[in-house]
Chain A
Amino acid sequence: MPTEEHVLPETALDVVTPACHEEEYEVVYHKPATMVDVHMHYCPGCAHSLVHKLIMEVVEDMDIQEKTIGIAPVGCSVFAYDYMDIDMQEAAHGRACAVATGIKRLMPDKYVFTYQGDGDLAAIGIAETLHAVNRGENFLIVFMNNAVYGMTSGQMAPTTLPGMHTTTSPDGRDVSYYGAPIKVAELLANLPGAVYVTRQAVNSANGVRRTKKALMNAFKYQQQYKGTCLVEIIGNCPSNWKMTPAEASRFIDEEMVKTFPLGDIKLPQADNLKTV
């Protein structure tokens, strides 16, 4: 019996029992339970929400929620701890790899990953990143490359394409003035401490599948191999590229991959294996 406080108004809609019962359908896809069930602040068509979900799918698939610690430094994704249902640390701009070093060195059995944008990793945090990889810190760097500063609304990043228009390169990036875009994956792959380096994109169903595979590999390699894993992900930023999501996806295929070719750059070798 409904209590007095809980009498539904007459205008309340009847609950309609769905015609199809659950047992008639096989669940083929669900949002990972390792995601917090809240609305995200990301723009429509942004790659961050998708990559957050991929990482959390990997954490769920591997059943490592209890062993995973993420680090989200300043950038659009600084609020990642609002969405990922794992222990996380927010970090100062560019310092994620130093923070991750502090965590992983003290808890070598945990899975640790940083989630960094291009301004964060390739500009203000290049020193911390390069030295962490050179030491072969045993964590995963998820590097989101969308060629602009997103959070501060579209300034030029170290990865901005030649000629690309941003709010601080209004006439297009002039490489004679600002240099060429930094190819982070290729640069860091040169260091002996890097064990797995790959570049993927999430602007197609195939790309999303390959990116998830790369992330899954990188999480597993943390336990199997000595060294740092870097998964660079070319992401779209329709708001700051001043494009529709569909146009932004095409821009990746037609322009971004010319400077940032997709694929594995470095794979683990047998002598990278951790000794048991």
Chain B
Amino acid sequence: MADYKLMKGNEAMAEAAIQAGCDAYFGYPITPQSEVLEYLAREMPKYNRIVMQAESEVASINMVYGAAGAGFRAMTSSSSPGISLMQEGISYMAGAELPCLLVNVNRAGPGLGTIQPGQGDYFQSVKGGGHGDYKLIVLAPASVQEMADFVFLGFDLADKYRNPVLILSDGAIGQMMEKVQFHPYTRPQVDKSSWATTGKPKTRERNYITSLFIQPERMEEHNLKLEEKFKRIRENEVRSEEYNTADADYLFVAYGLSARICQKAMDIVREKGIKIGLFRPITLFPYPYKRLEELAAQVKMMLTVELNSGQMVEDVRLGVNGKVPVEFYGRMGGMMPTPEDIVHHLETLIQYHHAN
């Protein structure tokens, strides 16, 4: 059994990157995730790994592109405005099928916004962000432990599918301290020799990394290949967690920090004798539509709680497909709902639906 450590979410993630064999980290300071670059600037040289503070997020993501294209495990992290700057590079990496790990420690926006936590980047993360038809595999941690665990999982999924993976965290999980355990990790063997640009020996054709397909026939062929990959990801990589769903009449649906708050709200509501469960999507792409559809046959109503104006709720409604009411409650601007706020909102909704 590995020892427990008390760490900030951002530091746990940085330590996990080292243990996951991350060869290179490129980043740019931005609150509330600067601890990642600071931690790695201190620790990576001890392992002869590359860590670099780039001149911008635009440069960071393109350094990741170069390193990933040469077959190395590379990552970057940032917070909302910085992730917006990276979108061009992320689209290129998805188009060129380059594996890498991205982390967004989401703060509230739009624009410069505030440095307080938010979940306003849900659409950007799962519906595109950059230009063109592509998907990121999006993992949503709800604890410091998951901040660490998803780094290992994220790198492995990126290599497995040759696709960028995004950990969508937020300012609270990045900054808060919790106990965390680092488990022994065996890196899956992945052969990148058929595409990585390591220098062309006489024995093989040249490798080149590109997202450019100027002939429409070839572009569509490439799009279809990507779609086939996203289909495989949808079939195989859906992850979610459930609490008290077995007997639930009502359901909270929330990810990340919101799910943590809903857990407490659920306990309060259960004390009052209302059977409520919590459904927590862990992968935001691929989204657990199917399980939500199943739960819609069981519960009377779902309440989606997010730190935004209502983004993931659209995916919940897609899964539920009109079978039961899907309501929304959220705070914005870095404001946190208390569990009591959520309980109050739920009770009002139950009364409303009962009366109607």
Contact = CB atoms under 8 A, between A and B. Distances in A.
Interface of A: 65-69, 71, 78-79, 81, 84-92, 95, 98-103, 105-107, 110, 127-128, 131
A90 B210 contact: yes
Contacts of A92: 62, 65, 88-89, 92
A14 B215 CA distance: 39
Nearest to A127: B55
A186 to B, nearest CB: 21
Nearest to B197: A87
A95 B62 CA distance: 6
Contacts of B56: 127
Contacts of B55: 127-128, 131
B77 to A, nearest CB: 16
B69 A89 contact: yes
Contacts, number: 126
Interface stretch (B133-141, B201-209, B241-249, B293-301): B201-209
Interface string B68-104: 1110101000000000000011001000100000000
14 contacts: A66-B199, A68-B200, A69-B198, A86-B199, A86-B200, A87-B207, A88-B197, A88-B208, A90-B96, A99-B66, A102-B67, A105-B67, A106-B70, A128-B62
Contacts of B88: 92
A87 B208 contact: yes
A95 B206 contact: no
A41 B59 CA distance: 30
A24 B62 CA distance: 53
B212 to A, nearest CB: 6
A122 to B, nearest CB: 16
A263 B264 CA distance: 72
A65 B72 CA distance: 21
Given A81-B210, A89-B208, A105-B50, A98 B199 contact: no
A88 B212 CA distance: 13
Contacts of A103: 66-67, 69-70, 197
Contact of A102 (B64, B208, B211): B64
B23 interface: yes
Contacts of A84: 206
Contacts of B50: 105-106
Given A101-B63, A127-B59, A88 B199 contact: no
Contacts of B302: none
B52 interface: yes
Interface string B190-226: 0000000111111000111111100000000000000
B262 interface: no
A181 to B, nearest CB: 24
A87 B198 contact: yes
Nearest to A36: B206
B62 A102 contact: yes
A88 B206 contact: yes
B99 to A, nearest CB: 14
Given A67-B199, A99-B66, A102-B62, 18 more contacts: A71-B66, A78-B212, A79-B212, A85-B200, A90-B212, A92-B62, A92-B65, A92-B88, A95-B65, A98-B54, A101-B59, A102-B70, A102-B74, A103-B69, A103-B197, A105-B50, A106-B50, A107-B198
